[in-house]
Chains A and B, each alone.
Chain A
């Protein structure tokens, strides 16, 4: 980020300015139900996403329990497939995406010097759609036939044949998608229209930049998902035949439409993570971010490229060699801007006065482990290799390296980094470090063996397996329970801060941190920047 000098900031200024918000802090249940304050809504997003993370995590542990030994121990294969599907849907739409929107709600107005989000009431509505969608999705386990078992991609023709649980999943995804679209509109308008005087686009913190680009991605691709699942719905109930081969439709068409959404979705879940890491690395290296402008352009390049690579998820459906070559090379291109980012983070750390508090540990852990996920993605982009390992545990390992060690670790890093600003208290560094090391090791114990299982031919989404995979599955199951239990440390660390245990946090607890959010007291007052700061 270019150097930002604040000319006039009124920390916690409660003057009347030109804002017509309520000036007293509301109390009781009304504060939350009718919340229009970006900080309250951000907190609710984060709580919701953590609850969904626990739910999705419990489903993952049920899967790993069944897979501890070959043969069927606890669950019928149908129920196992319901667990895999719901684990994916809940983690993607219930945990990771809302968590990043929670960060956006909390931090974007503080970082651009705005008093709140542009559409405060719509912000409330977009949050309260989430529990509705989450409950709908979860309750689909209890209808006849159970929850959808078509995989998180909801591929036709399987998704055309399932019971009412499938309709509930479609409706839930519509609701969660609508919530995300409203969130994205709010973020774009807030960033473009509500920045403080002097806060030019190229002075914005990189977290705002990555979210601005992510929000445009959401606007562009969530309607595509909505259209795909609407077509599924009309195929199921209204006699259309978009994806139904029996009436002249084409199931492969669904895959094209889905992945036109699905690949940018991967970047929707990782670009804000890049923004968080780009805030933390300079703060703990005590240097300016290396190559700020190139980071912005790399983020935009990744977003643009994400639109033209979708069929690399579908090499096995059969396509002309020219198309395979195109999608293979286009996919490989993404490694260039991604590499720019990784090199910039490393260059930022180079010769910096580094310290390794928990946010920095998670950020460095992110760079290390996410890069492994990136490299396996590069390997998977090679069509002949992908055809061999398609739908094996190699793919499962790859995307968990990207989404758990990538997105989730960045979310942990961001939480520890901004927690003092949110709660007014410092977290326990001891607990944070335990959380980091325990998570990093157990994550690798869980997912590293999956690469080898996949290369040896272990297919994903199977409740049973050949005996030769037993040891690796047992290691992965032990790792998964260890990883799950490690998250209890995180919960304790957070709750201690909210309970007011720990040291009081100053306005700027991190020596090397930069940005407007550190100019307001900790915890951030209910109303901030009602008189916009001047940024030079």
Chain B
């Protein structure tokens, strides 16, 4: 593995990790209401 590959791997890995954390946080704080509320499914 070249140093350049290592650098690109680290950047890509970090971006993906941030995406995972962001999705988790969004679902807990906003998304649960959104998913349930879409099309008025839960009566909320």
Contact = CB atoms under 8 A, between A and B. Distances in A.
Contacts of B1: 18-20, 115-116, 194
Contacts of A219: 16, 19-20, 23
- Among A184, A224, A323, find the residue whose CB has the most chain B CB atoms closer than 10 A: A224
Contacts of B2: 18
Interface string A207-244: 00000000000011011101110110000000000100
Nearest to B41: A319
B39 A118 contact: no
B20 A181 contact: yes
A25 to B, nearest CB: 19
A33 interface: no
A223 B35 contact: no
Interface in B1-35: 1-2, 5, 8-9, 12-13, 16-17, 19-21, 23-24, 27-28, 31-33, 35
A228 B27 contact: yes
A224 B25 CA distance: 9
Contacts of B19: 219
Contacts of B17: 185
A189 interface: yes
Contacts of B5: 193-194
A226 B12 contact: no
A47 to B, nearest CB: 27
A326 interface: yes
B41 to A, nearest CB: 5
A116 B9 CA distance: 13
A256 interface: yes
A320 interface: yes
A193 B12 contact: yes
Interface in A91-126: 115-116, 118-119, 122
Contacts of A192: 12
Contact of B13 (A185, A317, A322): A185
A222 B41 CA distance: 23
Contacts of A118: 9, 12-13
A158 interface: no
A323 B41 contact: yes
B32 A253 contact: yes
Contact of A189 (B12, B31, B39): B12
Given A181-B20, A257-B36, A224 B27 contact: yes
Contact of A188 (B12, B21, B32, B36): B12
A452 B27 CA distance: 39
B21 to A, nearest CB: 7
A223 B13 contact: no
B35 A260 contact: yes
Contact of B21 (A115, A194, A223): A223
Contacts of A19: 1
Question: Which of B2, B17, B31, B41 has the largest number of chain A CB atoms within 10 A?
Answer: B41
Contact of B39 (A115, A119, A253, A322): A322
Contacts of A185: 13, 16-17, 20
A252 interface: yes
A311 B27 CA distance: 17
B41 A223 contact: no
Nearest to A326: B39
A256 B28 CA distance: 13
Contacts of B41: 252, 256, 311, 317, 319-320, 323
A119 B13 contact: yes
Interface in A304-321: 311, 317, 319-320
Contacts of B43: 250
B44 A188 contact: no
A241 to B, nearest CB: 12
A250 B9 contact: no
Interface string A317-350: 1011011001000000000000000000000000
Contacts of B39: 319-320, 322-323, 326
A322 B38 CA distance: 12
A268 B19 CA distance: 18
Given A194-B5, A223-B27, A250 B13 contact: no
13 contacts: A118-B12, A188-B12, A193-B9, A223-B21, A224-B27, A227-B31, A230-B28, A253-B32, A253-B44, A319-B41, A320-B41, A322-B39, A323-B39
Given A188-B12, A227-B27, A257-B32, 5 more contacts: A189-B12, A194-B5, A227-B28, A256-B35, A256-B36
Interface of B: 1-2, 5, 8-9, 12-13, 16-17, 19-21, 23-24, 27-28, 31-33, 35-36, 39-44
